[in-house]
Amino acid sequence: MPPPNNTFAEIGALLRGARKIGIVSHLRPDGDALGSVLGLALSLEQAGKEVICLNQDGVPWHLAFMPGSDRILRPDGKVLEIDVAVALDTATKERIGPDCLHALSAAPVLVNMDHHPSNPRYGDFNYVDGGAPAVGEIIFDFLTAEGLPFNDSVRDNLFVAISTDTGSFQYSSTTAHTHEAIAAMMKQGLDSARLSNLLYSQNPMRRVELLRTLLNEMQFRSKGRIASWNYTQETKLRIGVQPGDTEGLIDNLRSIDTVIAAVIFEETRDGTIRVSARSKDDRVDVSAVCAQFGGGGHRLAAGATLQPPIETASTLYLQALEEHVERTA
């Protein structure tokens, strides 16, 4: 049994008592990872704290517009002298990344705030809410409950966190409370249309080329209920893709009417095959299929890492997925 959650009040008291705080998120960060880090960091800074933000892989191009993104540093080999370390949106301690873990290794206390149900509560203080659609929403609630300051930059970052992790408020994890949090921030001046434009309407042409390739190469099975794409190194090199270019790409498979499970198999630079899987039917649990291959995640969004070659990896995974879909849906 994982330890119970701490309360916002306990975590708030810990942070208020700290002078210097380090905040990190997971490898290959997404909008929720960076938005929750910057939202919390900029609020704590306004409350008078010294804050250092770290990410193992830095900020991808498409999230560079986020206010304060230049504050996200990559670890430089030094061990930080901080009173408290905070990990956000990071399902396992390993996902913080080895260089960030080294930078935080002298921190006397680690706080773990997350929304992945599989999170084993690896922190000294933990707040894991598997029902929250985004850690950004947890941070909104935390700042509100603890009376910590909001400003335009805090709101912009929390909007990016919540908007990206809910698929623009489309996923079933989106609740009335999610909209209430956004509404509260809009009443304080949040410009959601401007941020949505920056997030979703600034595709560089190479990303459109990537989409063209996906549409040419995607495959279907189980009477169109499963869609998949093998994303190869050859494609990456030909198009010259950059980190972050694949963000949201899987939604093009997921959006097809017959599809209930979508999968992208990505050939990584180290040769392993990274699996990203999505389900849009609660009966189909892609985290269970990913668990068969040593991965995990959420019921409707999960991942795993398989051994090459990509053709074998995708065939094996798709057989397991098809078996699961035929049995459950």
Residues of the shown chain interacting with Mn ion in the complex, contacts defined by CB under 5 A: 32, 89, 165
How far apart CA 297 and CA 197 sit, in angstroms, is 29
Which residue of the chain is nearest Mn ion when measured via CB?
Answer: 32
Q: How far is CA 296 from the centre of its chain?
A: 14
**Pick 199 or 325: Cβ nearer Mn ion:** 199
Residue from 58, 60, 56, 34 nearest 207 by CA: 60
3-state DSSP assignment of residue 130: coil
**Pick 89 or 266: Cβ nearer Mn ion:** 89
**Pick 28 or 225: Cβ nearer Mn ion:** 28
3-state DSSP assignment of residue 305: strand
What's the closest the beta carbon of residue 176 comes to Mn ion, in angstroms?
A: 20
What's the closest the beta carbon of residue 89 comes to Mn ion, in angstroms?
A: 4
Residue from 168, 204, 157 nearest 25 by CA: 157
- Tell the residue number behind the tokens 């598997």, with chain if given: 130
**Pick 32 or 245: Cβ nearer Mn ion:** 32
How far apart CA 174 and CA 165 sit, in angstroms, is 9
**Pick 114 or 266: Cβ nearer Mn ion:** 114
How far apart CA 208 and CA 326 sit, in angstroms, is 33
What's the closest the beta carbon of residue 271 comes to Mn ion, in angstroms?
A: 27
What's the closest the beta carbon of residue 115 comes to Mn ion, in angstroms?
A: 6
What's the closest the beta carbon of residue 38 comes to Mn ion, in angstroms?
A: 14
